[in-house]
Homo-oligomer: A and B are copies of this chain.
């Protein structure tokens, strides 16, 4: 089974090393991890971003599954590029897996950045926009896509000290993918 390894990990200073660790974990479970190309492209080239896009899309098309890192990124929710890729793989009818290294609910995450108000009509932010308050860690579209088209979002039982380098929840996803691969081949 080939698994596309989506996440804002590509923006870390040690992005290439994290990618190697993730691919190694996949290999230990008998799976092939495909890590996005963002760091394998000459960023000074005029068409660098298009080259990254085309490479990542081809990698997703070649993969059987995705493991998306939905750890909150620059705000209360997941990285947009990663969420796009999760949606793309859902549309391609691939097997969906994801983790978030932040176990908090979305409402609690919004409250870290903004003043939220509870009223009879529900929870709102300081701009008066509704805050999803279903008790899920992120937007319902991702949460239920995982429930229905893969495995439920994996989160740690408690907050982690290093949300960008702890790969326990990632490895739990790899284990679920390996179970799925065995089920398919048996």
Residues of A within 8 A of B (CB): 8, 10-13, 15, 43, 48-50, 52-54, 56-57, 73-81, 83-93, 110, 113-114, 122, 124-125, 128-132, 134, 136, 138-145, 147-148
Whole-angstrom CA separation of A31 from B87 in the bound complex: 25
Number of copies: 2
Determine chain A's interface SS by DSSP, over half rule. helix
Contact partner, A11, options B91, B130, B144, Cβ 8 Å: B130
Known: A11-B132, A53-B144, A73-B129. 14 other contacts (CB 8 A): A10-B130, A13-B124, A50-B144, A53-B145, A57-B145, A74-B76, A75-B77, A80-B141, A81-B140, A84-B87, A86-B87, A88-B91, A88-B145, A89-B91
Q: What is the distance, in angstroms, from A168's C-beta to the closest C-beta of chain B? A: 21
